[in-house]
A = this chain, B = another copy of it.
Amino acid sequence: MPAKPSAGSPAKPSAKSPGRDTYTPESLLAVAVEVFNERGYDGTSMEHLSRAAGISKSSIYHHVRSKEELLRRAIARALDGLFAILDEPDAGRGRAIERLEHVTRRTAEVLMAELPYVTLLLRVRGNTRTERWAMERRREFDHRVAGLLKAAAAEGDIRSDLDARLATRLLFGMINSIVEWYRPQPGDAEDRERVADAVVRLAFEGLRKQ
């Protein structure tokens, strides 16, 4: 248990006294991502991270070289999860519309399973090298999905009155909006499946009963 903060310490008046550093790279990253999502990456200092983790700044520097390294690792986790979808067997075989449906469902699932990491990815705006890299990789993912949508259109399985680029944007808009309201509950695998099902039904079949 960390020691009680000593009231009115002049150096760090509002900081918790640093506790013992029992963090793994993963658990420290989880704390950092939470703070980034709450305060924004630009608005987060190493001091904020130190307070949230309850360990000293020098302990954090023992794990990572910089705040930007934490951002890079967090973004990489989100991107790895998303790009792995494109290598799944069902993303590579069968008609393009079936592959697109698989990728849509899995993108929603990965977004919910890796919620804080994907939330951070969707919010970065490109002030640092890492943020520009994140935006570029995100565009690449969107581009790969847009390619699937175009292939499905070429195979005659997509409504011909929908522009592929616009449809891709709206599809991602729908999927990405899940971060605004989805909050995982304990034992939520069923809930995630219910949401992913709804995304696929709405996107592929639409609201209207045929």
Contacts and interface: CB of A to CB of B under 8 A. Distances in A.
A167 B210 contact: no
A209 interface: yes
Size category of the A interface is 35 or more
Q: How many copies does the complex hold?
A: 2
Contacts of A181: 169
Nearest to A198: B166
A65 interface: no
B207 A167 contact: yes
Interface in A126-177: 149, 152, 156-163, 166-167, 169-174, 176-177
A76 interface: no
A203 interface: yes
A156 to B, nearest CB: 7
Contacts of A15: none
Given A170-B174, A174-B173, A198-B167, A208 B205 contact: yes
